[in-house]
């Protein structure tokens, strides 16, 4: 089965061959125009020359378009790969943000909570530039952000409840 790369390469070879043939014919027609004896012969040869050179220019333009399309496809593939590689980090970042936002709204309310959420967003955007969320336990990031926001001190224990788990369930001893 022929791949897209094989098809593209074959097409490029055919276009290159067409360009060579058009150039060869154009050179021949040029010589014929220069040696033509009658005005009618010159007109006919000139028209043929115009048509073949136009065909050659269109072939070159098509080659350039195909080359541009290939470069754009490579760039799109790279962008897709980059987005795909960032997905796990983005999920971690969202998980961290959600946990800290829950703690913000547990500790503050109204405008104070909104200010803290805004500050959290600023801090996380800044840290995201340095890919800080890709490594380490999520809990360490949550602790660090809570300290940065003034929600906790370094020596404080921070209770991090999973989504949907009530505080009483988080403290319940394991009954196994």
What end-to-end distance do the CA atoms of the chain give, in Å?
Answer: 58
Confidence of residue 154 (pLDDT cuts 50, 70, 90): low
**pLDDT-based confidence at 163, cuts 50/70/90?**
very low
Which is it for the CA torsion 121, 125, 127, 133, positive or negative? positive
Mean pLDDT of 121-137: 84
- Across 116-127, average pLDDT: 90
Q: Is the dihedral of CA 17, 23, 29, 32 positive or negative?
A: negative
Cα–Cα distance for residue pair 48/42, rounded to 1 Å: 10
Q: What is the mean pLDDT of the chain?
A: 83
Q: Any idea what DSSP says for residue 174?
A: P
Structure confidence at residue 90 (pLDDT)? 87
Is residue 159 very low, low, confident or very high in pLDDT (cuts 50, 70, 90)?
low
Q: What's the distance, CA 26 to chain centroid?
A: 44
Supply the pTM of this predicted model. 0.48
**DSSP single-letter state for residue 162:** P
Please state, for a pLDDT cut of 90, what percent of the chain lies above it.
32
pLDDT in tens, 34-76: 999 999 999 999 999 999 999 888 888 888 898 899 899 999 9
Q: Report the pLDDT value the prediction gives residue 115, as an integer from 0 to 100.
A: 92
pLDDT at 161 over 90: no
């Amino acid at each position: 089965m022929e791949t897209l790369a094989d098809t593209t390469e074959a097409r490029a070879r055919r276009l290159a061959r067409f360009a060579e043939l058009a150039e060869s014919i154009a050179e021949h027609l040029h010589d014929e125009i220069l040696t033509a004896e009658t005005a009618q012969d010159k007109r006919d040869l000139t028209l043929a020359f115009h048509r073949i050179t136009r065909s050659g220019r269109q072939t070159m333009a098509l080659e350039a378009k195909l080359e541009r399309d290939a470069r754009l496809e490579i760039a799109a593939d790279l962008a897709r790969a980059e987005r795909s590689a960032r997905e796990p980090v983005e999920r971690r970042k969202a998980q961290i943000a959600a946990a800290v936002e829950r703690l913000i709204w547990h500790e503050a309310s109204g405008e104070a909570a909104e200010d803290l959420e805004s500050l959290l967003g600023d801090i996380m955007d800044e840290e995201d530039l340095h890919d800080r969320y890709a490594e380490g336990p999520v809990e360490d990031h949550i602790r660090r952000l809570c300290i940065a926001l003034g929600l906790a001190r370094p020596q404080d224990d921070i209770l991090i409840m999973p989504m949907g788990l009530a505080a009483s369930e988080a403290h319940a001893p394991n009954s196994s």
